[in-house]
Amino acid sequence: MAQTPINQTIDRLVSVLSSIKNNNWVIGGEEPFRPDEPGGSASSNQDFEEGQLLQLRYLKLTGDALHVMLHSVDSGIHALQAPCVAIALQRGIHSIPDDILAHIFEVGYHSCDDQGSRDSHHFSVAVSHVSRRFRMVALRTPRIWTRLSNWMKTSQLETFSYRSKAADLIITATTDEYDDPNISLEAFLAITLPSHSRWSEFTYDILEHHNLFPQAILSQTRNLTFPRLRSLGCVKAFSTDGDDGVLPEHTFATWEMPALIHFHGVSASIEGKGIGKNVQSAEFFMDYSIPDYRSIFHELGSWPHLTTLNFEFSNFYSDIEPSKVSLQTLRTLVIIAEFDADGVLLGKVLSLLDMPVLSNVSLEIHRDVVSVDELIEGMWSATTRCRSLTEFTLDTTAFGEHGFRFGVLGMFVSKLSFLETVTFRGAGLYGIEWCPRPPLWQLFHFEGATPDDIHRIGSYAHILCGHPKFKLRMGKCNECKEISRLKRSYQDRLEYEANENAF
């Protein structure tokens, strides 16, 4: 019986696969797929062109057959994959030793998004209810039961405290504008204070005046020693005394905290409290409610080991003129200017900072900041004196495009030419005047630039390329024809992170 084209193709494919198998599954080009029967080569009775067409037809038919087979195989894989995933996952988890599984739990616990929230205990409860083995491992992993807050129920708090064994504890006492915590501060401290020698982080987060947290209750912790406490937070609605005239900071000042290396405060009064003798990093939120902002800066100047400082300014304004402050050990400074911050005042404050070993500074400007130009100039005034400075980041992405009265990039090139790394995030920052000498920069990183900005960058490529080690790194920017032009100008000196399709 005469064979159909389909049968011939399948027979040919079987023959090809057999040939490849005999060759130890090595395919030497397309030769095994070429026809070898009479009429399949140029030496047959057909002319050369017909032979070529015949070979092409055989290859296409072979490809069609392979596609049919692959489609069938893919369908089978898709049908089996879903039910097999659960089996493979179950077998994979069964093969993980208990100590590795415990480590996975710890990583998940410390990286989950609900840290510091009222739901911070959900991860531990969830993994302990997956299976009998998960529960056994979870109960033997003390470090996933260490976040204790007054939003937990009393029974949960006692359970977590017991299961944490001897692990370091993260303690948070907080209020909410709308809801009451599940447990009063007095009851909360009654459960957690006996384990105060294990506290590694403590946050007193009082954003609203709340009668559940009288300062007299917190004062029962006075003169205690917290040997493991590494981080202390004091968050208040205003920089004022409590209802009984006692600040929580007064209580903290009596604590013995030999391991304390981090402090964060909102409207916190730290002056004269002796909190910072070992602190290496600090974060502060500053607004108009602080009676004399200068006292905080001068207090920070007395902290002998302070190397990293983050300031967030919002509703920051005052009639008090700033004074010179010396931060002799500071290496990293982050300034965030937000809603209704007075740029003139803040610029003056920054210009009077003496930071001889500063190496990294970041200035982030949000919308509704008043007098942005003066703010930037104030930061320049301080940093031009910092000859140890190597990195500067200016972020105006939350501010939007702004008509700066001077060329921001030009000021950096002329006044901060000694930097190694400069990062601009935002638009409208790239104006530049004539520059007689190229800066010493090794990396200029920018993102969020508009087509006009990229055109300006490309126009002075020859200035920035004066340094032999200079590189330009482009993050996410608006696509435009100027990007290709910039690439041609910089060639191998251009690195790009996000918009590869723009090229």
Beta carbons within 10 angstroms of residue 420's beta carbon: 16
Q: How confident is the model at residue 40, as a pLDDT? A: 45
pLDDT grade for 351, boundaries at 50, 70 and 90: very high
Q: Which helix (H) or strand (E) holds 20?
A: helix 5-22
Range from 136-150, 166-180, 448-462 carrying the lowest mean pLDDT: 448-462
Range from 124-138, 175-189, 218-232 carrying the lowest mean pLDDT: 175-189
Q: How confident is the model at residue 35, as a pLDDT? A: 58
Q: How confident is the model at residue 54, as a pLDDT? A: 74
**257 close to 251: Cβ distance less than 8 angstroms:** no
Q: How confident is the model at residue 417, as a pLDDT? A: 85
**173 close to 148: Cβ distance less than 8 angstroms:** no
The residue ranking higher by pLDDT, 35 or 312, is 312
Tell me the one-letter amino acid at 396.
T
- For residue 11, give Cα distances in angstroms to 3, 6, 339: 10, 9, 76
Tokens standing for residue 136: 């056994």
Q: How confident is the model at residue 132, as a pLDDT? A: 92
Residue 372 forms beta bridges with which residues? none
Range from 48-62, 70-84, 91-105, 136-150 carrying the lowest mean pLDDT: 48-62
Q: Which helix (H) or strand (E) holds 284?
A: strand 281-286
**pLDDT at 211 > cutoff 50:** no
The residue assigned the tokens 């803040």 is 346
Average pLDDT over residues 446-473: 76
Tell me which residue of 232, 213, 209 sits closest to 282, measured CA to CA: 232
Q: How confident is the model at residue 6, as a pLDDT? A: 60
Beta carbons within 10 angstroms of residue 120's beta carbon: 21
Angle between helices 154-163 and 185-192 (to 10 degrees): 20
Average pLDDT over residues 4-25: 71
DSSP secondary structure letters along 64-79: HHHHHHHHHHHHHHHH
pLDDT tens across 296-333, in order? 999 999 999 999 999 999 999 899 999 999 999 999 99
pLDDT tens across 234-245, in order? 988 765 544 455
pLDDT tens across 92-134, in order? 788 889 999 999 999 999 887 555 556 667 889 999 999 899 9
Average pLDDT over residues 412-431: 85
Compute the radius of gyration of the chain from its Cα atoms.
Answer: 34
Q: How confident is the model at residue 181, as a pLDDT? A: 72
The residue ranking higher by pLDDT, 280 or 455, is 280
Average pLDDT over residues 177-206: 86
Tell me the one-letter amino acid at 421.
T
pLDDT grade for 151, boundaries at 50, 70 and 90: confident
DSSP class of residue 3 equals P
pLDDT grade for 496, boundaries at 50, 70 and 90: confident
How much is the pTM?
Answer: 0.77
Give the mean pLDDT of the chain. Answer: 82
Average pLDDT over residues 137-165: 93
Question: CA angle, corner 461, sides to 460 and 467, nearest 5?
Answer: 115
Q: How confident is the model at residue 427, as a pLDDT? A: 80
Tokens standing for residue 40: 């399949």
Tokens standing for residue 125: 């409860």
pLDDT tens across 257-287, in order? 999 999 999 888 888 778 999 999 999 998 8
pLDDT grade for 472, boundaries at 50, 70 and 90: confident
Q: How confident is the model at residue 263, as a pLDDT? A: 97
Q: What residue ranges do the domains of the chain occupy? A: 5-95
Q: How confident is the model at residue 409, as a pLDDT? A: 83
